[in-house]
Amino acid sequence: VFNATILGQVFVNGVSLSAIYILVALGFTLLFGIMRVVNFAHGEFAMLGAFALFHLIKDWHWPWLIALPVGVIGVALASLVLEWLVFRWFYQRMFESMIGLLGLNMMMMFGAVLIWDVHERNIPSVSSDVLMMGDIIVPIDRLIVVVIALAALAGFYLFIRHTRAGLAMRAAAQDLETAETQGVNTRRTYKIAFFVAILLAALAGALWGQIYAVSPFLGERPLLMAFIVVILGGMGSIPGAALGGVLLGFTESFVGTFYGAAWSAFLSFGVVILLLIVRPWGILGTPES
Amino acid sequence: MTMRKRVYCVLAAIVLLGWPWLTDDRFFHHVGVLICLTSIAAASLHLIIRSGHVSLCHTAFMAFGAYGSTLTVMKLGMPWPVGLLVGTALAAAVAAMIGPIVLRLTGKYFVLITFLMGEVVRMAIVESSDLTGGSNGIFDVPPPYPFLLSNRAYYYFALAFAVFGVGFCARLLTSEFGRAMDAIREGERLAECSGIPVIRFKVTVFVIACALAGMTGSLQAHYIKFVGPDAYSGFQSLNLVIMNVIGGMTSLAGALLGTVFMVTLPELLRGYVNLQQIMFGAILFATMAFLPGGLIELARRVRGFFQRDKAVAQSVAPTSAPARPQTRAPA
C-alpha cells in the first residue's frame, strides 16, 4: 500500500491539515504567551469564522475571495466586544481563565445551537477542478486553502518580527514588567494580540468549514488539536506551535490513512500524554521557574 | 458538638428522610436519587481539588466503576455487591497506577493531561465495542436488588451511600490528613519541609477520590439501567468541576450546594437544554471572573459586610472564631 501515489496524497493532506492546525494553535499560544490566558473558547471563534464565510457566500452571494477576508476580519473585530466583556478579567490569571473560559466555550457553542440549529451545512466549493501532479490528485479547493493558510502564516511572521506592535508583543511575552517600564502599553498590546489570535482562529475555522462542514460543534476539534499542537511544541512558543502543527498534521494524515482515524487520535493523545509527563514544557518551550 | 449543631443535624436528617413522602411523584424521587449520587461524585472531586489539582477526567473513573460493575454483573453473572467492589477496585487501581505519574504535574499541565485522559477513556470505550457496546452502550442493566426498582426505595439506598461517601470526605477533611492536604495546596514546598510526604499524600487522596467515583459510577449505572460513553464525557467532568466552583472550591459544603443547584436546575428546565448550558457557562465565567471563592465566599462577604458595623461598635473586641486560613485557588 505504500506506493508513491498514496504517499503523495498523504503528503498533500498532511500539508493542508498542518496549515490549519498551525493557524489555530498560533492564536492559542499567542494568548497564552502574552496574557497567560488558556483560551478554552478558541475553537468557538473558528466556528464563528466558518459561519461568517457561509452566510456571506450563501445569503449575500459574495465572491469567495472577498467573503473570506471580510468575514474573518469581521469576526475578529466583533470579538473585541468579548475581549472587553470577558477576556480582560482573566489576563494574567491562568487558572481562573481556564475554568472561566470553559464557561464561555459552553455559552458560545450552545448560543450557536440556538441560532443555527445543530445540522451541518456546506460552504459551496471554490472550484471543483483538480490538479494532476503526476499520479497525485490535488483538488484546487485544497490547494487554495493551503496557499491562503501559508500566506497568513507568512503575514503573521512578518507582523511579529518586523512591526513595532509585534516587537511590543514579544517584549510583553518575555517579561511583562520590564516591557511596561520600557513604555509598552500592555493594555493596547493585549488588544492587538487578541485581535490577531482571533483573526487566525476565524481564518482556520473558515478554511476548516470549507474542507469539511459547518456546524455549531465545528470548534471542538480545532480546540483539541490546538491543545495537542501547543503542548507538543511548548505553551507560549511560536516556533513550537509551527513544529507541533506539522508533526500533528502529518501524523494524522499518515496514520489516519493507513490505520484509521481512531488510531491516529490514540497515537497523538498518547504521545502528548507521555510528553507532558517527561517534558511538560514541550519540545521547543522553556520550563517555568 | 454544640446544641445548635445537633439541632441542625436532626433537622437535616428529618428533611432528607422525610421528603420523599411529601409527594408520590416519581420524578421528584428521581431528582433526589440523582442529587444523592452526584453529591458523592462532587465531594470526591472536591478532595482532589482540595489537594491542589483540578481534574477534568473524574467521570472517566465513574466510567471504570460503571462498566466494571455492569460487566461483572451481566457477563459473569455475579451478584451486585461483587460488581460494586470490582468497579470501585478498578477505578482505584487505575488511579493508583497513573496517580504517581500525573500528580507530579501542577496547575495547567494537570488540567490539560486529565482533559486528554478523559478523552482517551471515552474513545477507548467507543472503540472496544465488543466489550462495552461502543457508542450504543449497554442496555437493561439490572438493579442492585429487585426491590430497588421503585425510585423511592432507590432514593433511600442512594442516600445511605451518599451519607457514607460525603461523610467520609467530610471526616477526612477535618482530620489531620485534611489539614495536610490544605497545607499542600497552600504551599507545597513548605508542606514538604514540614515533613509531609507530598506525593504520597496526593496519590492517596487521588486513589480515595477515584474509588468513590467508581462506586458512584456503579450505583448510577444500576439505577438508570444503562451505561454509555456520553454519560462520562469531558462535559460531565466539567459539570462536576462547575459544582465545586460555584459553591466555593475550598469548602465541602460549597460543593454540595453546587451539586443541588446543578442537578435540580437541568431537571426543572428540561425543555430548554441549550439555554441551560448557556446559563451554566455564564455562571462559570462570572464566578471565575468576579468571585473565585464561590457562593460560600459570597455568604462570607455578605456576613462580613453586616458585621463590620458591629465590629466597629465593639472597637477591637477579638472575634471568637479563629481566622480561617487564607485560601487561594491552586495555581
Which long-range contacts (C-beta less than 8 Å, at least 24 apart) are formed by B21-28?
Answer: B26/B151, B26/B152, B27/B267
- Taking the CA of residue B317 and the nearest CA in chain A, the distance in Å comes to 36
| Other CB atoms within 10 Å distance of the CB of residue B162 | 24
Q: Taking Cα atoms as reference points, which of A225, A266, A218 lies closest to residue A244?
A: A225
Q: Is the pLDDT of residue B331 over 50?
A: no
Closest partner CB to A277 (pick from B101, B280, B285): B101
* Candidates A29, A85, A96, partner chain B, best to mutate (most B CBs within 10 A): A96
Q: What pLDDT was estimated at residue A3?
A: 77
Contact criterion met (CB < 8 Å) for B290 and A95: no
Question: Which pLDDT value is given to residue A193?
Answer: 93
For residue A234, the SS3 value is coil
Q: Do B116 and A266 touch (CB under 8 A)?
A: no
The Cα of A103 is separated from the nearest Cα of chain B by a number of Å equal to 4
CB–CB contact A102 B284 (8 Å): yes
User: By the 8 A CB rule, do B113 and A232 touch?
Assistant: no
Q: In chain B, whose CA is at the least distance from the CA of A274?
A: B113
A270 touching chain B per CB within 8 A:
yes
CA distances from B304 to B257, B309, B311, B326 (A): 20, 9, 9, 15
Who wins on pLDDT, A94 or A163? A163
When scoring B233, B236, B274, B279 by the number of chain A Cβ atoms within 10 A, the one with the most, hence best to mutate, is B274
Cα dihedral value A32, A36, A39, A45, nearest 10: -70
What is the 8-class DSSP label of residue A214? B
Distances (CA, A) of B92 to B58, B75, B77, B171, B222: 12, 21, 23, 20, 19
- ipTM for the predicted complex comes to 0.83
A254 vs A276: CA distance, rounded Å: 23
| % of chain A surpassing 70 pLDDT | 99
Residues in B closer than 8 angstroms to A233, CB to CB, are none
Q: Using an 8 Å Cβ cutoff, are B115 and B234 in contact?
A: yes
Q: Which whole number is the average pLDDT over B215-239? A: 89
Q: Is A260 on the interface with B (CB under 8 A)?
A: no
Average model confidence (pLDDT) across chain A: 88
Q: Shortest CB distance from B109 goes to which of A101, A266, A280? A: A280
Q: Which residues of B touch A270 (CB under 8 A)?
A: 120
> With bands split at pLDDT 50, 70 and 90, how would you rate the model's confidence at B310?
low
Q: Distance from B152 to chain A by nearest Cα, in Å?
A: 34
- Region A244-273: what's the mean pLDDT? 86
Find, among B223, B216, B221, B229, the residue nearest to B259 by Cα.
B216
- Measured between beta carbons, the chain A residues lying within 8 angstroms of B113 are 273, 276-277
Which residues of B touch chain A, with CB atoms under 8 Å apart? 54, 101-102, 104-105, 107-109, 111-113, 115-117, 119-120, 123-124, 127, 238, 241-242, 245, 274-275, 277-278, 280-290, 292, 329-331
Dist. CA B319–CA B308, nearest whole Å:
12
Cβ distance of A272 and B127 shorter than 8 Å: no
pTM of the predicted model as reported, rounded to 2 decimal places: 0.82
Mutate one of A105, A273, A274, A281 to test the B interface: name it (highest B CB count within 10 A). A273
Q: Is B319 helix (H, G, I), strand (E, B) or coil?
A: coil
Chain B hits for A110, CB-CB cut-off 8 Å, are 274-275, 277-278, 281
pLDDT at residue B273 tops 60: yes
pLDDT band of residue B42 (cuts 50, 70, 90) is very high
User: Rounded CA gap, B173 and B182, in Å?
Assistant: 9
Q: What is the pLDDT of residue B320?
A: 46
Q: Which of B288, B291, B297, B327 has the most A C-beta neighbours within 10 Å, making it the best mutation to test the interface with A?
A: B288
pLDDT at A89 over 70: yes
| Cα gap A162→A174, rounded to integer Å | 17
Average pLDDT over residues B307-317: 60
Chain-centre distance of CA A262, in angstroms?
A: 22
Question: What's the mean pLDDT in B289-318?
Answer: 73
Question: Contact A89/B111, CB-based, under 8 Å?
Answer: no
Q: What DSSP state is assigned to residue A58?
A: H
Q: How far apart are CA B183 and CA A209, in angstroms?
A: 49
Is the Cβ pair B282, A103 closer than 8 Å?
Answer: yes
Taking the Cβ of residue A97 and every Cβ of chain B, the question of whether any pair is shorter than 8 Å is answered with: yes
Confidence check: pLDDT of B330 > 70: no
Residue B270 confidence (pLDDT) above 90 = no
A117-138: per-residue pLDDT in tens?
888 898 888 777 888 777 777 8
pLDDT tens digits, A152-182? 889 998 998 899 999 999 898 888 889 999 9
Q: Which residues of A touch B109 (CB under 8 A)?
A: 276, 280
Under an 8 A CB cutoff, do B289 and A272 touch?
Answer: no
CB contact under 8 A, B285 and A100: yes
Q: How confident is the model at residue B313 (pLDDT cuts 50, 70, 90)?
A: low
Question: Is the model's pLDDT at B83 over the cut of 90?
Answer: yes
pLDDT at A87 over 80: yes
Rounded CA-CA distance B239/B118 in Å is 13
Number of CB pairs < 8 Å for A and B?
109
Phi, psi values for residue A215, rounded to 5°: -155, 165
Q: Kindly state the helix (H) or strand (E) to which residue B18 belongs, with its residue range.
A: helix B3-18
Nearest-CA residue of chain A relative to B55?
Answer: A99
Out of B280, B287, B329, name the one closest to residue A106 (CB).
Answer: B280
The residue of A36, A102, A217 whose CB has the most chain B CBs within 10 angstroms, and thus the best one to mutate to test that interface, is A102
